[in-house]
Amino acid sequence: MDTDDAALRKSGTRRRPRRGWIVTTLTLLVLMVAPAPSATAEAIVQPVAADPSVVRASDGMFYMYTTADDWGDGQGMHNMSIFKSADLMDWMYLGDVFPDRPAWHPDGKLAWAPNALESGGKYSLYYSLYDESNPCIGLATADRPTGPWTDLGRPVFCAHDVGVGGTIDPFVWDDGTTKTMFVGNFQGVHAIPLSPDGTAAAGEPVRVADERFEGPYVEFHDGYYYLFLSAGNCCNGADTAYRVLVGRSESLTGPYLDRKGQDLNDGGGALILAGSEPWAGPGHNTVVSDDAGSDWIVYHAIPRDNRDLPSGARRREGMIDRIVWANGWPEVGDGSPASTGPANPDTDLPVRVTLRADSDTTLPAGGGTVDTTMLVEAPDDRPYAGQVWVSAVSPDGRTSDPFFGPIDVDLQPGEVLEENIAYTVPGDAVAGTYYAYAFAGTYPDETVEFGTVHAVKSGDEARISPVRSVSLHLGTVAR
């Protein structure tokens, strides 16, 4: 990106100790307030993170993959998107899995509900290709979590191949020797054995849950397999009753029973997550562990007062809450979205760098500037010495050289460096979303953390939002 497209400039520097500091912060997935405020248009912005699947790669970073959507960012449909995070809170958009539609995909059909897994240093991404009469499961593979992705070129299987309906929302359990795929979309959830290479069905389906459910996910904990499922219509706006239920079994293929001993195949299911006044339709979850061994449920939900994307699709925001295992069962706060704040995932980072903006601004056709703040925070238990810098990414995906820095920093344990930086979108900039990313590490070879703000320019006006890259909840947390 040329400096004519966007500009960042340093406007001040402050240092202060971290302890006792109250900071207004923006964070992906975790709503950092208590009590939680209602979701507002100012606090919830694109991009969205529907049907999230998260995998931790060998580089120590978390990667999230999401359903195809039109975010209204000027780039049209994103055919499954990839995001990267060091801490499960700040996410950087890296691109789409399929910039070009695989040849076997019918016109107008985009990929849904990805399920990512890593095995032997290789990455597999199973996905849904929906068709009312014969839905199919696809597969793409890559040597790196960012791709490039090579599609299998055919379905792993379709509904007609395995003799069951609703073959979407794949989840693959890989124990190192065998692979089993769970699929289901309100026609029964089934476990289907796969071939050793995971590219075809290789056995008879076993029904593990009834017609109320979709979006299966399996987590093993203390001798039990826990089957998480979503029930209800995912996308019926404020009227959605989408929610997460769970059952457990000593066997991968069931039977899965709830707390009362009732089979998920026969009306059972322990409710762990449902909608609230600000949030509708939480569901389609994955589970990920932080460095302290705590489990977190990652899912999507719809802000009730800002329900629709510009495309008309439902605005399904990425969310995260902590799971507490109590008497052998997973529990999530008070059972509603964002109810476990102000808890954060515990990730062992050498430094944390974030960007924030304090207000939401609509820019005129002539462009304008938003003031942002970069915070560089050393851990409480050790110092940090390295570099920080800020770059920008244009709507066509081009990343600039640093607009600010790199500068050297040397922080004592618990110390925070604060830099005031202005982000400018000129009047002649192309329409779309511009991201400003702050990085720490050693430029340009090593990046250990990042944060972002973005500005959306559409037609005659540009909207600058106080966010990072995905999810996007505004709140206050005591450090």
Predicted TM-score of the model (pTM): 0.82
pLDDT of res. 360: 55
Cβ-based neighbours of 293, under 8 Å, separated by 6 or more: none
Is residue 181 located within the same domain as residue 321?
A: yes
Active site residue 331: no
More confident of the two residues 406 and 354 = 406
Active site residue 118: no
Is residue 200 located within the same domain as residue 306?
A: yes
Is residue 441 located within the same domain as residue 307?
A: no
48 domain residue, yes or no: no
Q: In this structure, what DSSP letter does residue 242 have?
A: -
Q: Which of 51, 87, 169, 449 is catalytic?
A: 51
Q: Give the domain CATH number at 368.
A: 2.60.40.3880
In sequence order, what DSSP letters do the residues of 66-111 get, joined into one string?
A: E--EE-SSSS-EESSEEEEESSSSS-EEEEES-SS--TTSPTT---
127 domain residue, yes or no: yes
Q: At residue 426, does pLDDT exceed 70?
A: yes
Half-sphere exposure of 146 (CA within 13 A, CB side): 9
Q: At residue 42, does pLDDT exceed 60?
A: no
Q: Give the domain CATH number at 229.
A: 2.115.10.20
pLDDT of res. 387: 92
φ and ψ at residue 160, rounded to 5 degrees: -65, -25
Is residue 142 located within the same domain as residue 285?
A: yes
Among 256, 288, 246, 294, CA closest to 117: 288
pLDDT of res. 285: 96
Is residue 160 located within the same domain as residue 213?
A: yes
- For 225-229, 336-340, 398-402, which range has the lowest pLDDT when averaged over its residues? 398-402
How far is 325 from 323, CA to CA, in rounded Å? 6
How far is 461 from 366, CA to CA, in rounded Å? 8
Instruction: State the pLDDT confidence band at 287, using cuts at 50, 70 and 90.
Output: very high
Q: What is the mean pLDDT of the chain?
A: 81
pLDDT of res. 412: 97
Is residue 364 located within the same domain as residue 325?
A: no
Is residue 308 located within the same domain as residue 388?
A: no
168 domain residue, yes or no: yes
Among 1-10, 44-53, 245-254, 468-477, top mean pLDDT goes to 245-254
How far is 86 from 61, CA to CA, in rounded Å? 5
Is residue 196 located within the same domain as residue 164?
A: yes
More confident of the two residues 230 and 424 = 230
More confident of the two residues 105 and 343 = 105
pLDDT of res. 276: 93
Q: Which of 5, 151, 169, 214 is catalytic?
A: 214
474 domain residue, yes or no: no
Which range marks the domain in which residue 136 is found?
A: 53-332
| Chain segment 303-332, per-residue pLDDT in tens | 888 788 777 788 888 899 999 999 999 999
Q: At residue 456, does pLDDT exceed 70?
A: no
What mean pLDDT do residues 452-468 have? Answer: 42
Query: Do the Cβ atoms of 111 and 127 come closer than 8 Å?
Result: yes
pLDDT of res. 3: 33
| Chain segment 123-134, per-residue pLDDT in tens | 999 999 988 889
- For 27-36, 90-99, 335-344, 365-374, which range has the lowest pLDDT when averaged over its residues? 27-36
| Chain segment 212-234, per-residue pLDDT in tens | 999 999 999 999 999 999 999 88
Instruction: State the pLDDT confidence band at 392, using cuts at 50, 70 and 90.
Output: confident
Q: At residue 66, does pLDDT exceed 50?
A: yes
- Number of structural domains the chain divides into: 2
